[in-house]
Amino acid sequence: MINNLFSRATDSSADETLSYTAMASAAAAAGAYLAATLQATTPELRAMLGGIVSQKIMEHEAMTNYVMSKGWMNPYDDPARQLEASYNYSQSIISKH
């Protein structure tokens, strides 16, 4: 049911949409925890927050590898090709709404 709803709205599978969302979430969390780590005043707090940053980076890496294995992202393509693919994808979503 969820896959059907996502597919109608975006021409993408729920897995693809949720994977990109998880990647963005992990990246945002890593950035937030990194900022907190840099502002922490005690070594113990820095160590704890630094560990969380490492976990978020590993989460992002795992999701990136999954997305690449599915062929949803091709980071080694020519940059112009990547931009074209992103543009075409965004246009397909806009045209449906």
Residue type, 3: N
Q: What are the extents of the domains in the chain?
A: 2-96
pLDDT tens, position by position, 28-52? 999 999 999 999 999 999 999 999 9
Among candidates 31, 32, 21, which has minimal Cα distance to 66? 21
Per-residue confidence (pLDDT) for residue 4, from 0 to 100 = 60
Give the pLDDT mean for 48-66. Answer: 97
CA 50, 55, 58, 64 torsion: positive or negative? negative
Per-residue confidence (pLDDT) for residue 7, from 0 to 100 = 54
Sequence length of the chain is 97
Tell me, yes or no, if the pTM score tops 0.75.
no
- Tokens 């021409």, residue located: 11
Q: How far is 71 from 85, CA to CA, in rounded Å?
A: 12
